[in-house]
Structure 1
Amino acid sequence: MPDPIVRIDLNSDLGEGFGRWPLGDDDALLRIVTSANVACGFHAGDPSIMRRTCETAVERGVAIGAQVGYRDLAGFGRRFIEVPPGELADDVLYQIGALEAFARAAGGRVGYVKPHGALYNAIVWHEEQAAAVVAAVRAFDPGLPVLGLPGSAWLRRAERAGLTAVTECFADRAYTPEGTLVPRDRPGALVHDPGVVAGRCVRMARGEPITDVAGDPLVVRGDSICVHGDSPDAVAIARGVRAALEAAGVALTPFSQV
């Protein structure tokens, strides 16, 4: 069995409201997580929300990551779009640059990049789109770490391009036997019970198996654990995960600051 992880990052997708429509309790989550994946205006978020989220993250010592996605406000970035690679690279570069402006104005910086939603899932296997996102990050700053699913085309191409690839696991999402995420439109895709989620996270941090959607053991490892900020029980889940990890002797630290 692998050695237990003694330090891990806890991230969440934040800043996902738009105009007068709030989504999630960003203020509460920014008191719990160590990294904030901030929506950059294409699938969610707007300039004022980006500014406020960055200011609060800097104030509380939370690392800021660019949560980049398809240009799909109506679908919240959860619909696959067949974007030409050059256009996708430009879209991603635009989003990182926009968030960097607000991060710098708040006294911080963008510390990493994490794709969102359908883009995240697509570049597990879509080689051209994975290459386009890698190209955008390299064009902005080849020193930026990137966050993604273990074994994905995205992280494989990122490593080949000289980027720092960081793996993540999901606190509140079910896994297929292959180690990918169960699509959200299928039964059992989300895990809602805070106690169950917390126990899963401790097992993942220790390198112990969790149960996949078929009921079989699956070892899932990552340098960061994601708790989705738009889930109804997101704050309770995040609090429970943090408390369980700390009780198990796991230190919570932003991976981008190690």
Structure 2
Amino acid sequence: MAVDLNADLGEGFGRWALGDDAGLLEVVTSANVACGFHAGDPLIMRRTCELAAARGVAVGAHVGYRDLAGFGRRFVDVEPAVLTADVLYQLGGLDACARAAGTRIAYVKPHGALYNALVTHEAQADAVVDAVRAFDPGLPVLGLPGAVWLKRAEVAGLPVRFEAFADRAYTALGTLVDRRRPGAVLHSAAEIAERCVEIALDGRVRSVDGHFVRLRVDSICVHGDTPGAVAIARAVRDALTAAGVPLAAMRGARVDA
């Protein structure tokens, strides 16, 4: 079975740049494009969509809390109706940029604190599901296996896709270790590539306490803001290819107009 390789892209703002988007787009099969709330702006969004379209990379909407100062990594206790409108607004903005680039939004992936909140926060989970359904009830959504919002999305009829993280540590419960804890982000390209092969072939990852956690995986994420992200992504891609794992955009994800 083919596995998707995704990265968070378009996360600059104005004159401030973050990561090597062009380099990563030569490696990944899907791009999670910031929609202007945690990072990104209209020009960056459009340029990122153009680069992705030129390389045949699927464009995903990386929606988040309205939190530029905190890069979307702080929980926001926003009312569900407001969150639905915020997500819908982000989808609309990126959709315009994608269409102008000759492509379409292929899937939705929440960012940062919103991604983590949706693992257990039922009200916010329903709010995001409502936004995606209002925008396009056939649009795939991507998240952590076992997340409440994916369960709600499946009940609502949205196509659900499951994600693993190449460079993030896991707890024994299958959740991500808090970034503020030592060792939460991995940096060794060789170690990351090895664990990605195990994730893809065996559907499991070793947690920080040494136990194996079972994972359902459609896509593997390499963070674009991790130091050496391009080298890490290349190591992951090369290792997966060497292990006989084909790479392709997620099943059901659209890459054309």
TM over 0.5: yes
Question: 1:73 Cα deviation (Å)?
Answer: 0.1
Look up the SS of the partner of 1:229 in the other structure. Answer: coil
Match of 2:30 among 35, 40, 45: 35
Are positions 1:90 and 2:77 aligned together? no
Structure 1 match to 2:143: 148
Are positions 1:139 and 2:134 aligned together? yes
* Structure 1: unaligned runs, 5 residues or longer: 1-5
Paired AA for residue 114 in structure 1? K
Look up the SS of the partner of 2:3 in the other structure. Answer: strand
Listed one character per residue, the Cα deviations across residues 73-108 of structure 1 (whole Å, up to 9, x for unaligned) are 000000000000000000000000000000000000
Structure 2 match to 1:162: 157
Question: 1:188 Cα deviation (Å)?
Answer: 1.0
Structure 1 match to 2:63: 68
Are positions 1:56 and 2:56 aligned together? no
Structure 1 runs of 4+ with >6 Å offset: none
CA distance in 2, matches of 1:10, 1:257: 15
Question: 1:208 Cα deviation (Å)?
Answer: 5.1
Listed one character per residue, the Cα deviations across residues 185-214 of structure 1 (whole Å, up to 9, x for unaligned) are 011101110000000000000125432111
Match of 1:117 among 112, 119, 139: 112
- How many residues align? The count is 253
Look up the SS of the partner of 1:22 in the other structure. Answer: coil
* Structure 2: unaligned runs, 5 residues or longer: none
Residues 34 and 252, structure 1, Cα contact 8 Å, conserved in 2: yes
Structure 2 match to 1:211: 206
CA RMSD of aligned residues (A): 1.0
Look up the SS of the partner of 1:250 in the other structure. Answer: coil
Residues 9 and 254, structure 1, Cα contact 8 Å, conserved in 2: yes
CA distance in 2, matches of 1:62, 1:35: 5
Matches within 5 A, 1:178-257: 178-207=173-202, 209-255=204-250, 256-257=253-254
Structure 1 match to 2:172: 177
CA distance in 2, matches of 1:220, 1:185: 24
CA distance in 2, matches of 1:199, 1:208: 13
Look up the SS of the partner of 2:185 in the other structure. Answer: coil
Are positions 1:44 and 2:43 aligned together? no
Residues 223 and 229, structure 2, Cα contact 8 Å, conserved in 1: yes
Match of 1:26 among 18, 21, 27: 21
Paired AA for residue 56 in structure 1? L
Q: Give identity over the alignment, percent.
A: 68
